[in-house]
Amino acid sequence: MNLQKLLKIVAIVIGVISIFFLGSIISTGDEAIKAGEGSSTINTFMYVSYIILAIAVAIVLIFTVLNLVSNTSGLKNTLIGAGAFLVLALLCYYGFANGVETTLKDGDILSESGSRLVGAGLYLFYSLAVIAGVIMLGFGIKKMAK
């Protein structure tokens, strides 16, 4: 049996178990959960979800690292891309973002560093969107020219 068939079987088993858990949560009911009666059931299912998520992330990381190690040009390109992203993130944080202590609607206070992180995240998002648009436009023009 090859790995693909084994992974399909595992995915089907996890899907069936998930359907069982979903049915258990739905049968508990909203009112029982709000009253705290079903909280142990929900907590158990949440921990199972966390474990499955951790396993999935670990598998993805392991196979990604194995693939990068076996392909040195892929490793070089990945490191260049990660470095460019890091440089852009640092530029957005230190160059463009302002940090201002802000009072939120619920009365809490957003710190100066928190405000600066939010601003840097927005600048980073906008920068990446513009870069992606320029690249797509460039490839579109190049394709039309041929």
pLDDT tens, position by position, for the chain (146 residues)?
A: 687 888 889 889 988 888 887 787 777 777 766 666 656 767 777 788 889 889 989 999 998 888 888 887 878 888 899 999 999 999 999 999 888 888 888 888 989 999 999 999 999 999 999 999 999 999 999 999 98
pLDDT recorded at residue 94:
94
For tokens 């693909």, the residue is 4
CA distance 100 to 119: 10
pLDDT recorded at residue 11:
86
CA distance 88 to 107: 33
pLDDT recorded at residue 35:
67
pLDDT recorded at residue 103:
86
SS3 for 28? helix
SS3 for 6? helix
For tokens 């998520």, the residue is 53
pLDDT recorded at residue 2:
82
| Sign, Cα dihedral of 136, 139, 141, 143 | negative
pLDDT recorded at residue 62:
92
Tell me, yes or no, if the pTM score tops 0.85.
Answer: no
